[in-house]
Structure 1
């Protein structure tokens, strides 16, 4: 029987153990690090005897024992087996994003039922921690209190929904402080508080897994009336801006957003930053990082709709320079890290970067059915 190393395979160290983690068909298994060398002998289809010849510096019984363990774990796949066919198919479909994206996707599948790493006799448990603060705040920061009066949000829902577009062209008109304050409080402020059984949590206008509200909002002000350019934290409990770092130019904003010129022309940026402990303290399964990303999407949609209702042009991007953005927001980029960048400004009446409507000719070049 010929065997080949799984193409969907990640190896790592975890709690002092070397772990071979095939996905999605295998079991994460703790083995001796020599397993990595043995796997290299099965880069292409080989029999155990052929592999042993390449590994002649290892005892034959060591190779045989490792091959058996790797096959049981799903790290070595048998030729013409269903597992090998699926492994090849997954590797092909995910090749553009491999290895990071497919590992994250499949390693977090079914982890409500998976027991974790197979070590034979060791149980892996994740530590518990005290409940983190409900809100983020910087009591020593210079503060700007935001107005409580609300800008008009009475635009009809169907108009808001169908008028929502991602904008890339903006005028030089500043956004008023009232408009900014309304947008921030509507999207990120607490609506009401509920009893979680372990203390109070709050709800926003967007869904959040377990109402953990692990996402904080940091404002990069460029062209907002009454707000000096710079980076601020939006304190949603006290409805104020807390200065984190001074100064922000159009060129810097574009640079922080991975060189996208349009980002330098917005009135402001909003960075969604995850305070991971708020979510992980209740949900220990790694799958919940997916929930965190979904929560960012929920907030992004509510932001876009609210900005549209206020007459602004919303934008959003997942392309940004993580480390520099974290530094400007004074995030540690470990337990408090940027996930998503939102933006808004007054939309230009004659945009240059808006896409053209599809024509009949466009559709003749477009496959519509499988």
Structure 2
């Protein structure tokens, strides 16, 4: 390459240092191509140096003299960075897409919309499969390709070392004994929160009601009383019991695929810790809290099929459908509930033993 050519790191490229998100690696994100690259440290040095335009020959000399890379290796590394568009000819004008990305990422943060800007750029103009016959064929073709690489088996979660498993049975209409009109009108009187009534509300809200066979290599999909995109059902449910006769105090997981409530461990959590964990849910509940229902999301379960950035929107809809069903069922049973989202996510995930990159907290509902 001509040593007089001037190169620079495009403004659409962002460097991420080692972190829980990237592991032990440096990563380059290119917003223009929507691609990520793992980088050796030498490449990181080059990209940082090229935030300002540099002549190719000067860059080679710098890498050899100051970074300690043999000239042949330096040429090879620069060639790879150019091929990946992580370096570019600085004399060429930005493309319209690059100019638009830079505008969004410059202007939106002025209003505090940093994450919104990143999400907008990542999802803008994404090409989805259509819902007509050709689109359905393409979707099935994709699922067959995915399943050939890895069978589609992730349907529900079970705690292998659970202390105790409480059978819940299949959901049934009697689990919601009041009519929808009575619930909406608020005429169902509040009753005593018993173990049976609580388990019935959990069962009809979260347990599976049936299965759907799949035409690719994988386990049957579940149905529940709430809808879920593609019947993926990424939401999992946990319960912290404080004061329900017949249920030991402690942390539970609801295995909706087996219809059992699994006691993970007995633990008495005092009010001070509950305020720290659930400041919005426990701290604001307008009644004595007997239990807290927590909804999380297993991201992989949804993203196995929907491998595009907007998948992250739908998991919030999934959790919202489930908790609204639970609130209606609680009302039908004369059970008080109070749902909030803004709690101590990281502390809750730590209590539940979750890796937040695999399964994350979504919301919590106080019950009494």
Q: For residue 104 of structure 1, what is the aligned residue in structure 2?
A: 119
1:236-272 residue CA offsets vs partner (Å, 9 max, x unmatched) = 2443321112212332222111476236942211121
Equivalent residue in structure 1 for 2:252, among 209, 223, 232: 232
Q: Superposition pairs for residues 1-370 of structure 1, below 5 Å?
A: 10-12=14-16, 19-22=28-31, 26-28=32-34, 33=44, 34-36=46-48, 38-39=50-51, 65-68=88-91, 71-72=94-95, 74-75=97-98, 77=99, 90-92=108-110, 95-98=111-114, 100-112=115-127, 128-146=149-167, 148=169, 153-161=176-184, 163=186, 175-198=193-216, 199-247=219-267, 248-258=269-279, 261-262=283-284, 265-345=288-368
Cα distance in 2 between the residues matched to 1:161 and 1:87: 44
Q: Does the residue aligned with 2:124 lie in a helix, a strand or coil?
A: coil
TM-score normalised by the chain length of structure 1: 0.66
Flag the 1:232–1:36 CA change in 2: closer, same or farther, 3 A: same
Cα distance in 1 between the residues matched to 2:293 and 2:338: 10
Deviates more, 1:222-231 or 1:12-21: 12-21
Flag the 1:190–1:104 CA change in 2: closer, same or farther, 3 A: same
Q: Does the residue aligned with 1:261 lie in a helix, a strand or coil?
A: coil
CA contact (8 A) 1:147 1:177 kept: no
CA contact (8 A) 1:304 1:314 kept: yes
1:9-52 residue CA offsets vs partner (Å, 9 max, x unmatched) = 85448898854544xxx44467965455555x6xxxxxxxxx77
Offset of residue 152 of structure 1: 5.7
Unmatched 5+ stretches in structure 2: 1-9, 38-42, 61-77, 79-86, 130-144
Alignment length, in residue pairs? Answer: 302
Offset of residue 162 of structure 1: 5.2
Flag the 1:29–1:232 CA change in 2: closer, same or farther, 3 A: closer
Flag the 1:205–1:147 CA change in 2: closer, same or farther, 3 A: closer
CA contact (8 A) 2:164 2:264 kept: no
Offset of residue 273 of structure 1: 1.9
CA contact (8 A) 2:296 2:361 kept: yes
CA contact (8 A) 2:101 2:121 kept: no
Unmatched 5+ stretches in structure 1: 42-50, 115-124, 165-170, 346-370
Cα distance in 2 between the residues matched to 1:69 and 1:268: 62
1:306-361 residue CA offsets vs partner (Å, 9 max, x unmatched) = 2222212222222222232123223233323322222221xxxxxxxxxxxxxxxx
Cα distance in 2 between the residues matched to 1:130 and 1:106: 32
Cα distance in 2 between the residues matched to 1:68 and 1:271: 54
TM-score normalised by the chain length of structure 2: 0.66
